[in-house]
Chains A and B, each alone.
Chain A
């Protein structure tokens, strides 16, 4: 599996998901609204969706949401403990 390489955190989520809402709130509190990137995969057009899922499978065999990518880190599911470990708080 590859490791993501990026300074700015990127969250992949679903616009309908409660855990994704919580993850977004956590990241907003930590980085501010513009301090990270957010992609709602369910809102993408089908072709884009397929591309993104292929991209996510580089990091994990079974992508699930929320999925937060940071430098060398790929956090799957709403994991406050992991967010604190990776981003500090």
Chain B
């Protein structure tokens, strides 16, 4: 399957603008990055969502939620390896040539933890946490799109700030 190059280019430009706005960087190797964007679009047509192009998707969105790009593992991989698993995103150090780009070991657990609401401790302040970038917001419902990393609503999980974390009266 191949994707219309125009569509790949347009998606790439948008993704790059979004990444930079959120403090992230796409891999400056344009041929590499365009290849991965094409992979994302192939997966969009195949599964209906942006399953990671470098991992085998199940085709079941609930099971694949943690590997929808940007995946839950991007930020720790950027920190530890200077790139996400696909090397679609790279760190400042890699971008500036201060760190070599290497292949990134898989950190996704073999048995994927089931997504969904977790039991909540009593008390405290209820927040929503973006599983991709850690953005927290205190509102009734999670935002439609994470303002930092653009992950969609279903990537937010309930997060309770315990009373002990709050400043005293």
Residue numbers of A with Cβ under 8 A of B are 14-21, 41-42, 46, 49, 53, 61-62, 64-65, 77-79
Contact = CB atoms under 8 A, between A and B. Distances in A.
B78 interface: no
Mostly, the A contact residues are loop
Given A42-B57, A46-B59, 9 more contacts: A14-B56, A18-B32, A18-B36, A20-B54, A21-B35, A65-B54, A65-B55, A77-B106, A79-B103
Contacts of A62: 106, 110
B53 interface: yes
A19 B55 CA distance: 11
Interface residues of B toward A: which range? 20 to 34
Interface of B: 1, 32, 35-36, 38-40, 42-43, 53-57, 59, 86-88, 103, 105-106, 110
B42 A77 contact: no
Contacts of B38: 16
Contact of A16 (B42, B59, B106): B42
